[in-house]
Copies of this chain bind each other. A is one copy, B any other.
Amino acid sequence: MTQSRAYHHGDLRRALLDAAVEVMAESGPAALSLRDLARRAGVSHAAPAHHFGDKAGLLTALAAQGFELLAEALRGAGDDLIDTGVAYVGFAVRHRAHFEVMFRPDLYRADDPEVAAARTRAGELLRTGVARRTGRGPDVDALAAWSIVHGFATLWNSGALPPRVGPDPEAAARTVISRLFP
């Protein structure tokens, strides 16, 4: 993970990633500008290139971080399938910027080995979570479960859901997932 010790800036790589998350969380991925991130970090406009190569490189790092955060969230949800689904939604809402990048492969290098590894790790957790519950071939159940939580999270984040769903995404998600796995 390119662990960098303290250098000129302190930890520019991390600062840039954090700033990117902040910008995207409030203005969406389209508003992201490397030069703006550099300004926020107090460095020159070309400094980001040294750590990430280009914009896609920065987003690749963000995606990898995102898949790791997702795996962490899923692990923390325990053994219950419903809880795992709720955790997926919770991750998407809480780490909206990461989530949006992760599933937009045109923005980053999806074949990056680090990203691929993290993605596989998170995918394993999802599938074992489903297999633990349902006796049948996990294929359909896993796909249905993934679809329903991913869809709910995406719709919630895009603001497409009507207000009567309520203010708490995780509570609403629990209800919805329970409809699939009663």
Contacts and interface: CB of A to CB of B under 8 A. Distances in A.
Interface of A: 27-31, 103-107, 110, 139-141, 143-144, 146-155, 158-161, 164-165, 172, 175-176, 179-180
A28 B27 CA distance: 19
Contact of A31 (B104, B106, B155): B106
Contacts of A29: 106
Nearest to A123: B162
A140 B179 contact: yes
B147 A176 contact: yes
Where chain A touches its partner, the secondary structure class is: helix
Contacts of A180: 144, 148, 179-180
26 contacts: A28-B104, A28-B106, A30-B30, A103-B154, A103-B155, A103-B160, A105-B158, A139-B164, A140-B179, A141-B179, A143-B161, A143-B165, A143-B172, A143-B175, A143-B176, A144-B148, A144-B176, A144-B179, A146-B151, A147-B148, A147-B149, A147-B151, A150-B151, A151-B151, A151-B153, A154-B154
Candidate in A106, A110, A165 with the most chain B CB atoms within 10 angstroms: A106
Contacts of A105: 158-160
A30 B155 contact: no
B28 A107 contact: yes
B147 A103 contact: no
B176 A27 contact: no
